[in-house]
Copies of this chain bind each other. A is one copy, B any other.
Amino acid sequence: MDALEAIFTRRSIRKFTPELVSEDVVEKLLEAAMSAPSAHNQQPWQFVVIQDRDILGRIPVFHPYSTMLKSAPLAILVCGDSTCFKSPDYWPQDCAAATQNILLAARALGLGTVWMGVYPKDPLISGMRNLFGIPEQVAPFSLIAVGHPAEEKPRANRFDEQRIHYDRW
């Protein structure tokens, strides 16, 4: 799929078919994530690939916006690893760029995704930390549900020229 088409037509998808996501595709999504830019090229990311139905079903117990995981075949937890930090202030932005790359790569591969926030909300961070055994030096950042879409959404036109300023506010 064309890059601009992927960017313009990506929507949050919360309904998925039961079809599994192949290992090859999972690897492509993670390769896309790790291709993101990062401050001083610190690449502060780690990923938990979640395919176990029982574990997916336990996330909505503590994450209020994740009920779609009961029917999603896959989720990816993006984490920030403080042992990689060269510019500690920027790791959330680096992990957000990696997350956005996963969303776009998935769209290009015909998959649907939805980005759920985790960091900086303490109850969500500790919920993820406990469920997956994530060590102290790593912070759960975002959770992405992934699957073959069982809903279609039209392109959203969010362009608003009033948000654009030239050379001065």
- A-side interface residues toward B, CB under 8 Å? 1-8, 10, 12, 28, 30-32, 34-37, 39, 43, 45-52, 55, 87, 89-90, 92-93, 96-97, 99-101, 103-105, 107-109, 115, 117, 120-121, 132-135, 138, 142, 156, 158-160, 163-169
Q: In the complex, A39→B134 CA distance in Å?
A: 24
Q: What would 18 A/B residue contacts be, using CB atoms closer than 8 Å?
A: A2-B2, A2-B108, A3-B6, A3-B105, A8-B35, A30-B159, A30-B163, A34-B159, A34-B163, A36-B100, A43-B158, A46-B163, A46-B165, A50-B167, A89-B121, A97-B99, A132-B169, A138-B169
Q: In the complex, A45→B165 CA distance in Å?
A: 12
